[in-house]
Amino acid sequence: MSLRRAFTILTFAAALRAASVGAAPQQDASSLFSALESPVISGEIDPPALLAVGRAVIRPGAGAHVFVMSASGRPCGVLIDGSATLTYTVDETLSVPLARRNASRAHGLALQESGSQATLSGTLKGTAVWGWDIDKGLGAPRPASTKLPEWLATLLEKKTERNPGRDMVLSASSPAPGYRLAIFHLADDDLRLNVNPASGVRTESLGHYWKLPAISSRAGWLVVEPIVSQPIGRRWWDLASPDIAASDTEIKVVNDDGEHGVITTRTKVQALADHVDMLQLELLSEWVTARDERRLLKITKLTIDGTPASSLQLDWNLLVTLPRPLSKGQSITLEVTTEGRILELPEGDNYWELGTDAWYPRPAWPGAEWAAFHISVTTPSRFVPFAGGDVIQPPTASNGNTIVTELKGPMQYATAVAGRYKTVTDERDGWRVHVSTYAASREAEAHRLAGVVHAVRACLENALGVPYPFHDLEVVEINDWGWGQAPPGMIFITKEALLSNASAAMLDEDVRPMAELTSRGINERIAHEVAHGWFPHVAKIVSREESWLSESFAEYASAVCIQRASADTKRGKFLFDRQVSGWKTRTSALSDPASVYLAEYLGGREADVRDRQRLLYGKGPLVLHALRQELARTAGDEKEGDRLFFTWLRSYIKNFTYKLGGTRHLVAILTQMTGKDWQPWFERYVYGTETPKVN
């Protein structure tokens, strides 16, 4: 599981204002972005009877004035200055529980439910809507000389979100833009509706601006808090497909001095759709350290096919303008060099970690990273460098302490670590597990941990019929408690995983309770990280709603293998039952009935973050167990039920080996296998909010 998400949210909240790099041709992305974020009033039009934005309908009241907004001399939206009414329809049944959960978070938004739909309504004091084609059919504007109203200018100044600017820039030369961003000004709140019909996204989401409290270093800034999201022109389970993919990525990390690093990335990006004229990448522009210190990651070079390219850096997004639009199948090579003091040595420890955050440029959603990696990491001689993949060249004094690895694709997330580590290699049947412990060598514990990895790997290979993707697996101890992470070729695991009874007894009084708490179920946690080798490194996912295919499936598969790996059957059953009862406890702790499938859409409050965990690591695996029991019940035989259940998992992994799959495919496989339509069952327990009975 990834508690690292908290870090991402913090970074998000601590957003910087726009900064641009690279050469600037006429009308570059950076100046267009700025113009969109503070548009000018270019004319006035007669008020329309209504304005439709996604599923919202806005009706201007008597006396309201309607203006055209422009950016860089081009109409970019309309502004309703004065009263209007808003009705927003939630007609995607599966999204209704989200609206029910979150509507009251916005002041002045009323929720009404009828049948399987919901309507949110409110009285607006002002409305601003961006969209390249929104003014079409609204009549010719007449001259107007006025400025943006105070409320809107202040909101645009204080908001941390990068829309409308980012997605308007991205759709600026699209033949069918259709993108909309609306800001609704209520008496005591402001709402934001983002409508993105682009083929890779097809989602609209309503939220409200939440003011960061005084305790934050960014007090008073506005963050969007989600209320409800809905798919556009599809049901939730119809996958939106990626528009670009990174296929070959070479990364060079040089830790030249202290916490400073220089990172060079060369990546081949292919268009998976027609008319790709701008790359939307993920790349952090700053790093927030454990001591809340902000450090910049600066771009010093950026080229496309060897020629400097114009780009726009926005917090964790990097937009790169292509010299010419790409058609489906065409590709370019992007080269980016960055540097900064981002190799943080946490609390003075002697290691740094470049984890799953975007420390090098890679496609942002709806793009995919399906790359083969060539990674090289150079560190001062006092540190041992690591990177995911097969070791092509180990670090030596003669090569300047450089490790070179290769990771077969398609994979997502390159990672690198370096520090004062001691490594123990445990090889069984040609599979090598390298366990690196921090500061001191702990040989017995390292072999014990490697034993769990080998047992679970062998069990899952046997159950799923597809080999584990990583012949060399680096397991690296992180000097912290209570989490694990499994980027490709690497497992980060915190120190309770490498604690012997003797060393546990020697811990200080103040950390002993933490060690005990986190040590419980440690084998299950290691097994969970190994299971990520298949879920999702073998069977690929890209959409947020498919998260359960990674987390809940890894959770269930690892529980099965911990049971199977137990020499003693009774002990194995005890361990499995203990997991099931943990899933039940988490499920019953949910603050509201919620959908496993939409776990990532709950919101960003503490209760939402907890419920997300309960859904993905509790209700999700519980639903899988219920399905296994249901198969046994309908077959009238537990053995036959198990056979069907594991054949189903195996078919999914085999059919989607290194391919993009989704829950809908799992439903189809099950339906084909059993001759019974499983869609209604999934609509209740996976897509919907019901909890199945489990014995």
Radius of gyration of the chain from Cα atoms?
Answer: 26
User: Considering beta carbons, is residue 1 or 541 the nearer one to Zn ion?
Assistant: 1
Which residues here bind Zn ion, judged by CB under 5 A? 1, 551
The greatest distance separating any two alpha carbons of the chain, rounded to the nearest whole angstrom, comes to 84
User: Considering beta carbons, is residue 29 or 527 the nearer one to Zn ion?
Assistant: 527
CB of 4 to Zn ion, least distance (A): 11
Tokens of 499: 């604690």
User: Considering beta carbons, is residue 229 or 552 the nearer one to Zn ion?
Assistant: 552
User: Considering beta carbons, is residue 535 or 652 the nearer one to Zn ion?
Assistant: 535
Tokens of 680: 């209604």
In 3D, which of 493, 478, 486 has the Cα closest to residue 439?
478
CB of 493 to Zn ion, least distance (A): 12
Tokens of 433: 């597990």
CB of 562 to Zn ion, least distance (A): 15
CB of 554 to Zn ion, least distance (A): 5
What is the C-alpha separation between 124 and 8, in angstroms, rounded? 33
292: how many CB neighbours lie within 10 A of its CB?
10
Q: Between vectors from CA 48 to CA 42 and to CA 49, what angle results, nearest 5°?
A: 160
Task: With beta carbons less than 8 A apart as the criterion, state whether 283 and 313 touch.
Answer: yes
Alpha carbon of 112 to those of 50, 115, 120: distances in Å? 21, 10, 6
User: Considering beta carbons, is residue 537 or 625 the nearer one to Zn ion?
Assistant: 537
CB of 379 to Zn ion, least distance (A): 28
Residue 442 has φ and ψ, to the nearest 5°, of -130, 80
For residue 159, the 8-state DSSP code is B
170: how many CB neighbours lie within 10 A of its CB?
21
Residue 342 has φ and ψ, to the nearest 5°, of -105, 0
Return the bridge partners of 378, or none.
254, 402
User: Considering beta carbons, is residue 206 or 478 the nearer one to Zn ion?
Assistant: 478
Residue nearest to Zn ion (CB): 1
Return the bridge partners of 65, or none.
81
CB of 242 to Zn ion, least distance (A): 22
CB of 489 to Zn ion, least distance (A): 16
User: Considering beta carbons, is residue 551 or 683 the nearer one to Zn ion?
Assistant: 551
CB of 527 to Zn ion, least distance (A): 11
Strands of the sheet with 390-393, listed across from one edge: 307-308, 298-304, 331-340, 260-271, 244-257, 368-378, 402-411, 390-393
User: Considering beta carbons, is residue 1 or 120 the nearer one to Zn ion?
Assistant: 1
Sign of CA dihedral 291, 294, 297, 300: negative
User: Considering beta carbons, is residue 92 or 551 the nearer one to Zn ion?
Assistant: 551
**Helix axes 638-655 and 663-674, enclosed angle (nearest 10):** 130
CB of 558 to Zn ion, least distance (A): 9
User: Considering beta carbons, is residue 152 or 562 the nearer one to Zn ion?
Assistant: 562
In 3D, which of 235, 484, 479 has the Cα closest to residue 356?
484
What is the C-alpha separation between 128 and 190, in angstroms, rounded? 11
User: Considering beta carbons, is residue 206 or 616 the nearer one to Zn ion?
Assistant: 616
User: Considering beta carbons, is residue 135 or 480 the nearer one to Zn ion?
Assistant: 480
657: how many CB neighbours lie within 10 A of its CB?
17
CB of 384 to Zn ion, least distance (A): 26
Q: In sequence order, which residues have a C-beta less than 8 Å from that of residue 81 and are 6 or more positions away?
A: 64, 65, 66, 67, 126, 146, 149
CB of 452 to Zn ion, least distance (A): 16
CA 615 to chain CA centroid, nearest Å:
16
CB of 540 to Zn ion, least distance (A): 16
